[in-house]
A and B are shown apart, each in its own frame.
Chain A
């Protein structure tokens, strides 16, 4: 296994991070999930494909790798991408656990009675309901929320996973 198998995905991931940060600062995208998939999965796949195509025509140097090494580089790239994409909601959403830990880390911590001042229904639940509506996992009619087939599939997947693990209903 050549060094390229580790270096190519790692360097591509760093490049993707730069592209992601630049895009976010230039224009905050409305559909972040799709945008992140495009940056961290589609872009590296397209870049690798273009590289292979140019190399096959002798227009670009390409390290001599067999199919297996390309496959393992792709797996590592996907592993980097999934780790980052799954971490992303914590950067954007108000995560009560992270905020509590940051407040506790301040000199003298934070008073228990002051914690509710940092969180309320409007900031904790409202944005999550909006996210569900925006990603078409739920829809609203006359002020009543209902689940969409896509939302049902997602809810069932989590329920199935938790049932396999022997756990009861989770979330929040």
Chain B
């Protein structure tokens, strides 16, 4: 394995680190004022240029023809999957109920279930979700009804619902009855 190829693989493997570094700069410098999730997505897109340039400089520039095409497809696929994985890890810290409960336990030491529910309950969870969905432009509230504004998350939710049923899990909309 030559050094150029090794550098190519290492740069790609560190994709989440590059995206996180860019996201930290964007947030700390106040370049974009938006929700954490939007900034994470923008950072994933924004990191394409520097990471792509670095990949080109260390390895892709030495290739041509089908080799260049194959390596470019490989790089694009790996980058997309790792960026998607990073987004999920960031999103866990942003929205996961388990992470929120763990954070509270870490800060407060001990919690009874009643104490937990006194400051963290379904109404609070629902309010935060509605705020985020409206801010992300996925839904709109009109005449007291929640309506779809964009089909992007709806398509993803429908796909997840379908795959969940392939796995033998109940449908997402019926899940609250479990």
Contact = CB atoms under 8 A, between A and B. Distances in A.
Interface of A: 1-3, 5-6, 20-21, 24-25, 28, 66-68, 71-72, 75-76, 79-80, 82-83, 86-87, 89-92, 94-105, 108-113, 115-116, 118-121, 123-125, 128-129, 131-132, 137-138, 143-147, 151-152, 154-156, 158-159, 161-162, 164-167, 169-172
Contacts of A144: 110-112
Contacts of B156: 98
Interface size class of B (residues with CB under 8 A): 35 or more
B126 A115 contact: yes
A124 B178 CA distance: 11
Contacts of A79: 77-78, 81-82, 85
B20 A121 contact: no
A105 B154 contact: yes
Contacts of B32: none
Contact of A112 (B94, B141, B154): B141
Interface of B: 1-2, 5-6, 9, 12-13, 20, 23-24, 27-28, 36, 63, 67, 70-71, 73-74, 77-78, 81-82, 84-85, 88-90, 92-103, 105-106, 109-113, 116-117, 120-123, 125-126, 128-130, 132-133, 138-139, 141, 144-148, 151, 153-154, 156-158, 160-161, 163-164, 166-169, 172-173, 175-176, 178
B70 to A, nearest CB: 5
A68 B2 contact: yes
Given A158-B99, A161-B90, 18 more contacts: A72-B5, A75-B12, A83-B85, A98-B156, A100-B130, A101-B153, A103-B146, A104-B139, A104-B146, A108-B147, A111-B145, A115-B130, A143-B112, A144-B111, A146-B110, A147-B109, A159-B106, A171-B103
A160 to B, nearest CB: 10
Contacts of A100: 129-130, 133, 139, 146
B100 A170 contact: yes
Given A6-B73, A71-B1, A80-B81, A113 B36 contact: no
* Most chain A CB inside 10 Å of its own CB: which residue of B67, B70, B73, B157: B157
Q: Is the interface of B mostly helix, strand, loop or mixed?
A: helix
A109 B93 contact: no
B114 to A, nearest CB: 8
Contacts of A68: 1-2, 5-6, 9
A158 B161 CA distance: 28
Contacts of B164: 91-92
A171 B96 contact: yes
Nearest to B16: A82
- 8 tightest A-B CB contacts, nearest first: A171-B100, A172-B100, A68-B1, A79-B81, A86-B88, A171-B99, A109-B147, A147-B105
Contact of B81 (A25, A83, A128): A83
A118 B71 CA distance: 47
